[in-house]
Structure 1
Amino acid sequence: MPRVTVDPFYCKGCGLCIIACPKKILRFSEDINDKGYHYAECFNQEDCTACRLCYITCPDVAITIEK
């Protein structure tokens, strides 16, 4: 099963990955990172198809996908 991980340290909360996700399994976290941003998080790992659209659109290289 694929696993999407967003590194809160690098994520600036732009939301591009949330828009790009065809399964709509990403959202903004209620937590805030050290830079003051609500970072993205995956809330439904089971529905991830590892399409990598979130990874491709992330300008901060904050997303990793493991298969």
Structure 2
Amino acid sequence: MARVTIDDHFCKGCGLCVDVCPTAILELDEAVITAKGYHPAHCIDQEKCTGCCSCATMCPDVAITVER
């Protein structure tokens, strides 16, 4: 089973990963603000992750790790 990990220290909340996720399991966390003032992305359902790595490939800040 695949697992998505997003490092809040690097995520600037651009939303590119949210747009590219084919299973729509990523979203920006409006309840969290990082030290840099961003709403980081987070995974809402790890069980549905297919491990396609589209999110990690799209991330300009290399904040996403996908483990298969």
TM-score with structure 1 setting the length = 0.97
User: C-alpha separation between the residues in 2 aligned to 1:43 and 1:9?
Assistant: 19
For residue 66 of structure 2, give the secondary structure of its aligned residue in structure 1.
strand
User: Structure 1: where are the runs of 5+ without partners?
Assistant: none
Could you say what the CA RMSD is over the residues aligned between the two structures, in angstroms?
0.5
* Distance in 2 separating the partners of 1:65 and 1:32: 23
Partner in structure 1 of residue 60 of structure 2? 59
Structure 1 match to 2:47: 46
Distance 2:33 2:43 in 1: 15
One-letter amino acid of the counterpart of residue 48, structure 1: C
Answer yes or no: is 1:7 the counterpart of 2:7.
yes
Runs of 4+ in 1 over 6 A off after TM superposition: none
Structure 2 stretches of 5 or more lacking a match?
Answer: none
What's the CA shift for 1:37?
A: 0.2
